[in-house]
Amino acid sequence: MEKAKVYFTDFRTSSDENLLQKLKRLLATAGMDTIDFTNQYVAIKLHFGEPGNLAYVRPNYVRAVAEFIQDLGGKPFLTDCNTLYVGGRKNAVDHMMAAEMNGFNTITTGCPVIIGDGLKGTDDVEVPIVGGQYLQTARIGRAVMDADIVISLNHFKGHEMTGFGGAMKNLGMGCGSRAGKMAMHNAGKPNTTDDCVGCGSCQKICAHDAPQLQDNGKMFIDHDKCVGCGRCIGVCPVDAIVSPHDETCEILDGKIAEYTKAVVDGRPHFHITLVNSVSPNCDCHAENDAPIVPDVGMFASFDPVAIDKACCDAVLAQPRLQNTWIDDHGDPSIEDVFTASHPNTNWRGQIDHGVKIGLGTDQYELIRI
């Protein structure tokens, strides 16, 4: 495979051009305007940020991307799928409130927010994964799959399970429905906790008779019957049904790459990554720790693997900042900041598997504007 083109610009500005104007120039130079957006539904996939986290992409940048698409005749909408964990974005009501609270609405961004997998994270489509090694199909949020074009707008950061989060993490894990997220994180079989009150809501929603009431008045999920749809998680009124998150980091990386391939296969896609406020953990945290490296710049490419590799290389080339997560919770003796932040992860996993399954290439030409 020939080298992919990855376009880059730093965060320097002048009196003649602000950062939002510079971002639009980056998109045009990278060729995003060669996509035919005319009357096409365009999913701008981003992370709205868990309430309390401040490291996510600012709505100002999102509006610039939306305007770029609208000027070319497209119909953009902002989207993300509900979370598997219990937090501020576990259903569409809470998720949209979180988006509003963090500044994402039609006034600030110029386009609507549509939660990709519906009210309770169960509105999904089963999509084939061509060349999948770990999975043959992916459960993707229906609104994401209904779109004609997919644009990933990514905040680059470290991650406690995958080493880093970029385009593939945003698309692969982010576009998975609740059942999809379970399939990536584990074998897709949830469990009940001691918080269960035995109300039977999970039993009523299950089509496979997997939840069973025990003598102690609590529910038990029979994994032999469970199909991993995740509906029980969505209906539990006390959040007593959880995913075990027992998949290895290596396999999780591979599954994320395979889900990304399911999302982008067969339709136009483009990827934009902002490497700033590079926190050590995912934006799913209800807080963001101090950046581990200085701000780098903005990247754009048609190749999700190449842009992730370029961002990783750029971050690894930066001087490490002092008084960060690495000093308190990581291993300061390790040179690369991803492994230093989370020594049990392998940040190359997503990239290597993405190359293996034909999602993209890790060989790129960096073009600076």
Average pLDDT across the chain, whole number: 95
Say which residue the tokens 């701008």 belong to.
44
Please give the average per-residue pLDDT across 82-99, as a whole number: 92
pTM: 0.90
Does residue 228 carry a pLDDT above 80?
no
Q: Which residues of 161-172 are buried (b: 16+ CB within 10 A; e: fewer)?
A: bbbbbbbbbbbb
Q: List, for residues 206-223, the tens digit of each pLDDT value.
A: 988 999 999 999 999 998
Per-residue pLDDT, 86: 80
- Is the pLDDT at 87 greater than 90? The verdict is no
Q: What is the pLDDT of residue 188?
A: 59
By the 8 A CB rule, do 79 and 143 touch? yes
Each residue of 300-345: pLDDT tens digit? Answer: 999 999 999 999 999 999 999 999 999 999 999 999 999 999 999 9
pLDDT at 136 over 90: yes
pLDDT above 80 (res 186): no
* pLDDT confidence of residue 296: 98
Across residues 81-85, what is the average pLDDT? 90
pLDDT of 187 over the 70 cut: no
pLDDT beyond 70 at 96: yes
Q: Is the pLDDT of residue 231 over 80?
A: no
Q: Quickly state the pLDDT bin for 69 (edges 50, 70, 90).
A: very high
What's the average model confidence in pLDDT over 65-74? Answer: 98
